[in-house]
Chains A and B, each alone.
Chain A
Amino acid sequence: MHLLEATDFNVTTTPWLVILGLCVLMALVRLIAPKFYSHYLWSGDHKMIGKQFLVSSLLWAVVGGALALGVRWQLAWPGSEVPGFKALFGWPDGGAAPEHYNIMFTMHASVMIFFVIIPLLVGAFGNFVVPLQIGAQDMAFPFLNALSYWLMWPAFIFMAFSFYVPGDGAGAGWTSYPPLSETMLGDGQTLWCMGVWFVGWSSICGAVNYITTIVKMRAKGMTLFRMPLTSWSILITSILVLCATPVLGSAVTMLLMDREFGSSFFVPAARVVSDAAQATGGGQVILWQHLFWFYSHPAVYILVLPAMGMVSDMLANACRKPVFGYRPMVYSLIAIAFLGFVVWGHHMFQSGMNPALGRTFMIATMMIALPSAVKTFNWLATIYRSQMQLEVHTLCSLAFVSMWIIGGLSGIFMAATPVDIQIHDTYAIVAHIHYIVFGSTLFSVFGAIYYWYPKMFGRTMNKPLAYTHFIVTFVAFQFTFFPMHVVGSRGMLRRTADPYFYGNLQGMLPVNQLMTVAALILGAAQLVLAINFFWSMFAGKVCTERNPWKATTMEWNTPTPPVGHGNFDVIPEAHRGPYEYADPDAAEDFTPQFQAPAGSAKPVPHAH
């Protein structure tokens, strides 16, 4: 029905007007306060852009988290109104109707993946840390860098408006499988496509920039194999982004054309809509899934590789010990990236794809567990016989390692095709992804915030608040997500507004209530982080020390915070590998990369 009328492009104009208004506002600010504009808005400075990404991602995390709590609320007390959602989203049922439940989980995943995790890892920490770590003055293309941040804003606006446009919001899952995503009436789904499209452009701009910066702008002596693992992981991630995102962009464009211009890339023949057979058709439904997962499987690694890199840096610092097996760590990053491109079909084992292909993907998927295992063993060996400092980033890195083991092991069940038949599309999958993306990635992000906060803002975060946040989050996390493994393998389906419709799932209501209570505590704990983050920015203990954590990598050789555009007041030069901790022959238990070798005739030259 929608397709037949689709020749007129009738997407609501409001988001476009808002974007136009934003442009006008920026132009006005540029006229009135040019310094404010070039420092806080259109800044070419990688440090400011990193902070912009960080703050906007944390704000979106509030939206994504609220939506997740809405989902959990429905699973615990089905059919009841979620407090506040009536006012927030203008839903008269307060999120109790199935169509609004569908919007909640769709937008929870979309917001968390596209607006929180990817921008946090790549945009925020990639931007802030990488040039400092490799000893560069800035990113290779400052304009492109600013563009990659401001391209997020149209996406923010489109996604935010998708809740409020006439008809309904996007409710076809973050995977947006057609034909469902094509038959969704209302403009929400179209705005979702536009949002994803702009996020894709932002990612591509960023990726080009990181690759060029890392390949061309490393300081003297900073060979590839002297690069800290955070920079390595951002390099590998950027290659993934650059190769995979155009495929998502094309797929989303095709979906948009199907929705709005009457094409039929994903519209099958002989489809019936509203009791009438459709004239259009002849497309392939499964094509979308191939294109989507060709991006989104690598995207899963985009969601975790930078976290692995950051944890390696933080763990070496926390343990005062070199990262065990630095080169195997790098090789396993590369192996994960390469294999990441040949395993997308494991999301499609039950999709109607030729089952012979399923077998091929199963073997590739089993193989990708291998580099992940190697990394895990290396982290464990790093902790062994170390001297751990009790810091927040220590606890977060340790949480990463232990949660990564659980998330990694549960993945083997899904890779095994016959077992996947039973657990595909159930809460076991939900448990698995959350152990990876929350248990691993977000804990590493928490750690990274505490770790790099002094360098970013020249202040340290409050430690008791940070411990409280960590402990409550860690415990509530287990209660929220661990039981999902069990209810999932017993058949509780994901994406069902009311699973208790099924007799065989009714006994799971109490355990779902347990998970929801834990999730509410988990959500409340994040307020502690938010308060700590913003409060410390203005009132935290001032830190002017260059190297507060006694770390070895190059970013700790700049003033705290690095002043102005240019980062270093000394000419950065790397003299050794990135993790020279605990050298028994050295004066201290750490020997930074930037420290000239003892007895070196040349003193470190100063820039001024």
Chain B
Amino acid sequence: MAQINATPTSRPVLLVLALALVVLLCYGMRVAFEKPGTALKAEMLASAGAGTSFTLEDGARIPGTGNILVEDELVAVQRVTAEGSPVNSGILLLNNQHTFKVVERGAAGTKVTNHAAGASVKEPGTLFFPENFASFGDEVDELFYLILWITGIAFILTEGFFLFCVFSFWAKPGMRAHHLHGHHTLELVWTLVPAIILVALALLQAGMWKSMKMEIPLADSPDVFEVQVAAQQFQWNFRVAGSDGKFATPDDVPSVGELHVPVGKKVRVVQRSIDVIHCFFLPNYRVKQDVVPGLAVPVWFDTSRAGRFPIMCAELCGLGHTKMGGTLVVHETADFKTWLEKESTLWTSENDGQDRPDWSGASSKIWWWWDQHDVGVHYQGEKTNR
């Protein structure tokens, strides 16, 4: 086959093809991102007012808990049992019938209390990261964008130079390449410049990492609210202390799938798993921490505003991993007190502190297990052991 060399006439063609690829890629992603929630049966929600329940047919796809954007209006739905009590986790099999309840609805632009668990790029948040509500999250996002700028500039410089070379240096008959084996100064420059940038980046983030993962607030401070997380295949169990502020007492309030915390507090989360590794992921709080069986791993975040936010399991934990979701419910201070009192009373009145109600299968035993098999809080990053 004859040698096809890129001549000056074929160069524009190559350039146009490359540009077309980039434009096509951008356009494809834009189109794809612009259709929010097509997987949902949106029309079923269009007319459902708050408090109404409805049942979806087989094969319908809907989250355990979440917000759905229906014609620019946010609808918060919650999966409920046939009797109407909320179910927030556990395996949601694809072909079962499920009953849902509309909890709340409001315009997308307004500050509804629960708009965080959004569905598309139309939702608040940056292009890359979902909206942030944690105080250290801003730093993380700034670091992300700093790295994006640095790598973006490096990308444009290197790929630009690359494309320039690709379009410029095709063989011409009778010509030889520039005979050069290397260049000491150049090698030094392109070793030292990235080295300085990388060391600076490394030093910059060291403090951030320390405040996020090593300086976990201690429970005895008044602005700290402690919760316990017991992960199991395939649900999140949560426990908060009752009015006495102590764990392992009869007024503790356990919950499944929904973690209730007050606003304006540092939330100290102590996590344990009863079976395999899970991973506690709060995308809106920049929190992700593996829950490791045999260890009690603490992590923390702070709450600045009320709302409902998704909790995800980010580490493969078995066949039900994909359905191991939950919701973080951040209450206004007064609302939280009401909620805690209500739950606490329900708990103690039904049980006299003796047996615990069967909330959901094995979870009735899980706090018994937690108290029986006490392992101290792990990490040397902790200031004390408890």
Is A269 an interface position by the 8 A CB rule?
Answer: yes
Which of the residues B31, B136, B144, B154 comes within 8 Å of A419, measured between beta carbons?
B144
A 501-516 to B, binary, CB cutoff 8 A, 1 in contact else 0? 1111111111101100
A511 touches B32 (CB 8 A): yes
Is B290 an interface position by the 8 A CB rule?
Answer: yes
Question: Using a CB-CB cutoff of 8 Å, which residues 394-422 of chain A contact chain B?
Answer: 398, 401-402, 405-406, 409-410, 412-413, 416-419, 421-422
Tally of contacts, chain A with chain B, CB under 8 A: 393
B 308-330 to A, binary, CB cutoff 8 A, 1 in contact else 0? 00101011111111110100000
B283 touches A416 (CB 8 A): no
Residue of A nearest to B296 (CB): A352
Chain A residues lying within 8 Å of B322, measured Cβ to Cβ, are 98, 101, 496-499, 501
Is A277 an interface position by the 8 A CB rule?
Answer: yes
Chain B residues lying within 8 Å of A483, measured Cβ to Cβ, are 28-29, 32
Instruction: Give the interface segment out of A20-28, A196-204, A383-391.
Output: A383-391
B176 touches A416 (CB 8 A): no
Q: How far is the CA of A502 from the CA of B125 in the complex (A)?
A: 17
Q: How far is the CB of B133 from chain A (nearest CB, A)?
A: 13
B143 touches A584 (CB 8 A): no
Q: How far is the CB of A354 from chain B (nearest CB, A)?
A: 5
Chain A residues lying within 8 Å of B155, measured Cβ to Cβ, are 405-406, 409
Chain A residues lying within 8 Å of B5, measured Cβ to Cβ, are 390
Is B224 an interface position by the 8 A CB rule?
Answer: no
B 270-300 to A, binary, CB cutoff 8 A, 1 in contact else 0? 0000111101010100111111111101000
Is B47 an interface position by the 8 A CB rule?
Answer: no
Q: How far is the CA of A558 from the CA of B321 in the complex (A)?
A: 56
Is A142 an interface position by the 8 A CB rule?
Answer: no
Is A173 an interface position by the 8 A CB rule?
Answer: yes
With A321-B177, A383-B165, A501-B64 already in contact, the answer to whether A359 and B206 are too (CB < 8 A) is yes
B177 touches A385 (CB 8 A): yes
Q: How far is the CB of B358 from chain A (nearest CB, A)?
A: 13
B 185-212 to A, binary, CB cutoff 8 A, 1 in contact else 0? 0110011001100110110011011101
Is B110 an interface position by the 8 A CB rule?
Answer: no
B205 touches A362 (CB 8 A): yes
From A268, A362, A475, A582, name the one whose CB has the most chain B CB atoms within 10 angstroms: A268
B176 touches A514 (CB 8 A): no
Which of the residues B119, B125, B170, B317 comes within 8 Å of A180, measured between beta carbons?
B317
Q: Give the size range of A's interface with the partner.
A: 35 or more
Q: How far is the CA of A328 from the CA of B205 in the complex (A)?
A: 30
Which of the residues A356, A378, A497 comes within 8 Å of B381, measured between beta carbons?
A356
Q: How far is the CA of A358 from the CA of B41 in the complex (A)?
A: 44
Is A520 an interface position by the 8 A CB rule?
Answer: no
A478 touches B171 (CB 8 A): no
A387 touches B190 (CB 8 A): no
B321 touches A402 (CB 8 A): no
A102 touches B319 (CB 8 A): yes
Is B386 an interface position by the 8 A CB rule?
Answer: no
Q: How far is the CB of B195 from chain A (nearest CB, A)?
A: 6
Q: How far is the CA of A252 from the CA of B232 in the complex (A)?
A: 25
Question: Using a CB-CB cutoff of 8 Å, which residues 311-329 of chain A contact chain B?
Answer: 319-322, 324-328
Is A581 an interface position by the 8 A CB rule?
Answer: yes
A355 touches B169 (CB 8 A): no
B 219-251 to A, binary, CB cutoff 8 A, 1 in contact else 0? 000000000000010000000000000000000
From A275, A478, A491, A581, name the one whose CB has the most chain B CB atoms within 10 angstroms: A491
Chain A residues lying within 8 Å of B59, measured Cβ to Cβ, are 79
Residue of A nearest to B280 (CB): A350
B117 touches A503 (CB 8 A): yes
Is B166 an interface position by the 8 A CB rule?
Answer: yes
Residue of A nearest to B309 (CB): A504
Is A85 an interface position by the 8 A CB rule?
Answer: no
B170 touches A388 (CB 8 A): yes
With A102-B319, A285-B294 already in contact, the answer to whether A272 and B25 are too (CB < 8 A) is no
B290 touches A501 (CB 8 A): no
Is A380 an interface position by the 8 A CB rule?
Answer: yes
Chain A residues lying within 8 Å of B365, measured Cβ to Cβ, are 275
A409 touches B318 (CB 8 A): no
Q: How far is the CA of A385 from the CA of B294 in the complex (A)?
A: 60
Residue of B nearest to A362 (CB): B202
A475 touches B21 (CB 8 A): yes
Q: How far is the CB of B258 from chain A (nearest CB, A)?
A: 14
Is B383 an interface position by the 8 A CB rule?
Answer: no
B319 touches A506 (CB 8 A): no
Q: How far is the CA of A386 from the CA of B5 in the complex (A)?
A: 13
Q: How far is the CA of A505 from the CA of B50 in the complex (A)?
A: 23
B165 touches A380 (CB 8 A): yes
With A504-B283, A510-B32 already in contact, the answer to whether A582 and B177 are too (CB < 8 A) is yes
Chain B residues lying within 8 Å of A412, measured Cβ to Cβ, are 147, 150-151, 198, 201
Which of the residues B61, B140, B169 comes within 8 Å of A421, measured between beta carbons?
B140
| Total interface residues in chain B, CB < 8 Å | 132
Chain A residues lying within 8 Å of B140, measured Cβ to Cβ, are 418-419, 421-422
With A351-B290, A355-B214, A387-B169 already in contact, the answer to whether A324 and B274 are too (CB < 8 A) is no
A409 touches B171 (CB 8 A): no
With A325-B182, A385-B177, A582-B179 already in contact, the answer to whether A374 and B191 are too (CB < 8 A) is yes
B33 touches A98 (CB 8 A): no
B201 touches A416 (CB 8 A): yes
Chain A residues lying within 8 Å of B38, measured Cβ to Cβ, are 509-510
With A374-B187, A389-B3, A507-B36 already in contact, the answer to whether A171 and B213 are too (CB < 8 A) is no
B 1-18 to A, binary, CB cutoff 8 A, 1 in contact else 0? 101111000000000000
Name B residues whose Cβ lies closer than 8 Å to a Cβ of A: 1, 3-6, 21, 25, 28-29, 31-40, 59, 61, 63-68, 92, 94, 116-123, 125, 127-130, 136, 139-140, 143-144, 147-148, 150-151, 154-155, 158-159, 161-162, 165-166, 169-172, 175-183, 186-187, 190-191, 194-195, 198-199, 201-202, 205-206, 208-210, 212-214, 232, 274-277, 279, 281, 283, 286-295, 297, 310, 312, 314-323, 325, 362, 365, 369, 372-373, 375, 378-381
Name A residues whose Cβ lies closer than 8 Å to a Cβ of B: 78-79, 96-99, 101-102, 171-173, 177, 179-180, 183, 268-273, 275, 277, 281, 283-286, 319-322, 324-328, 350-352, 354-356, 358-359, 362-363, 366-367, 369-370, 373-374, 376-378, 380-381, 383-390, 398, 401-402, 405-406, 409-410, 412-413, 416-419, 421-422, 424-426, 463, 475, 478-479, 482-483, 486, 489-491, 493, 495-511, 513-514, 577, 579, 581-584, 589
| 19 A/B residue pairs, CB under 8 Å, sorted by A | A98-B323, A173-B316, A270-B372, A285-B292, A321-B179, A352-B290, A356-B380, A356-B381, A380-B162, A381-B186, A418-B205, A421-B288, A425-B315, A482-B25, A500-B61, A501-B64, A504-B123, A506-B120, A508-B120
Known: A326-B181, A381-B186. 8 other contacts (CB 8 A): A269-B294, A285-B292, A351-B292, A387-B176, A398-B166, A405-B158, A413-B144, A479-B28
